[in-house]
């Protein structure tokens, strides 16, 4: 009887060991599965970080390239148009020469004298030299007379009756305009033609007023 009892106890213990072994194996497998899952999650997170870094690098390089282009453009404009203000101020020399010539021509005491002619010749030489220097530096006068009024280059100061010219044609240049390369340095101040108004048309306009 005791023998049978011992055998049963041994059998139960053996079964318990098997159950414990199976339980242990199951726990180990679950732990392994959990570890693999964590590693997979970790790998995905690293991949996302790499992608974010690559995107950030690409954006940084793009911004650097944009800054380089802006710098090159600003440097080029500074080189090409750095003398813009100086050139604009220098135009006063030409204006003063033109005024001096006009004053001398209108002086009754000097009219038709050799002194006047020689002085005007000298002023004309200086004027041409200035225009030549400006031209070498890409500062060029705007052609105006007998041209159609162009608001990009001309500024109309008055209208002059003239039936021989198409309305809007420049018939008088009050002040010469200039460009520097492809930019307007200053516009030409001009007078433009308009049709001659007949007396009856003027009378009608006066009645309307």
Task: Note the pTM of the prediction, 2 decimals.
Answer: 0.56
pLDDT tens string 21-70: 555 555 555 555 555 555 555 556 777 777 888 888 888 778 888 888 88
On the question of pLDDT at 78 being above 70, the answer is no
Q: Are residues 108 and 131 in the same domain?
A: yes
**How many independent structural domains does the chain possess?**
3
The pLDDT assigned to 170 comes to: 94
Mean pLDDT of the chain: 77
Residue 27's domain spans which residues?
Answer: 1-81
The pLDDT assigned to 55 comes to: 81
On the question of pLDDT at 203 being above 80, the answer is no
Higher pLDDT, 54 or 132: 132
- Give the closest residue to 95 by CA, choosing from 189, 191, 193, 192: 189
On the question of pLDDT at 169 being above 90, the answer is yes
CA-to-CA dists, residue 103 to 97, 98, 108, 111, 171, angstroms = 10, 9, 10, 11, 22
Q: Are residues 76 and 88 in the same domain?
A: no
Q: What is the Cα–Cα distance from 8 to 166, expressed in whole angstroms?
A: 130
Q: Are residues 35 and 69 in the same domain?
A: yes
Q: Are residues 7 and 66 in the same domain?
A: yes
160 backbone dihedrals φ, ψ, rounded to 5°: -125, 125
Instruction: Look up residue 25 and give its two tokens.
Output: 């194996």
Q: Are residues 44 and 20 in the same domain?
A: yes
CATH code where residue 149 lies: 2.30.22.10
């Amino acid at each position: 009887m005791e023998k049978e009892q011992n055998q049963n106890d041994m059998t139960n213990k053996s079964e318990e060991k098997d159950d414990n072994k199976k339980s242990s194996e199951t726990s180990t497998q679950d732990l392994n599965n959990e570890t693999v899952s964590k590693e997979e999650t970790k790998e995905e997170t690293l991949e996302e970080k790499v992608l974010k870094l690559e995107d950030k690098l690409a954006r940084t390089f793009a911004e650097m390239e944009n800054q380089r282009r802006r710098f090159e453009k600003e440097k080029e404009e500074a080189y090409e148009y750095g003398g813009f203000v100086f050139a604009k101020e220098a135009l006063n020399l030409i204006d003063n020469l033109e005024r001096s010539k006009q004053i001398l021509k209108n002086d009754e005491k000097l009219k038709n004298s050799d002194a006047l002619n020689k002085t005007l010749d000298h002023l004309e030489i200086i004027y041409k030299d200035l225009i030549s220097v400006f031209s070498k530096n890409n500062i060029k006068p705007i052609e105006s007379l007998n041209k159609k009024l162009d608001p990009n280059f001309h500024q109309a100061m008055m209208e002059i009756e003239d039936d021989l010219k198409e309305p809007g044609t420049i018939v008088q240049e009050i002040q010469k305009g200039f460009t520097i390369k492809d930019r307007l340095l200053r516009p030409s101040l001009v007078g433009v033609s308009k049709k001659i108004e007949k007396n009856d048309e003027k009378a009608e306009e006066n009645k309307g007023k």
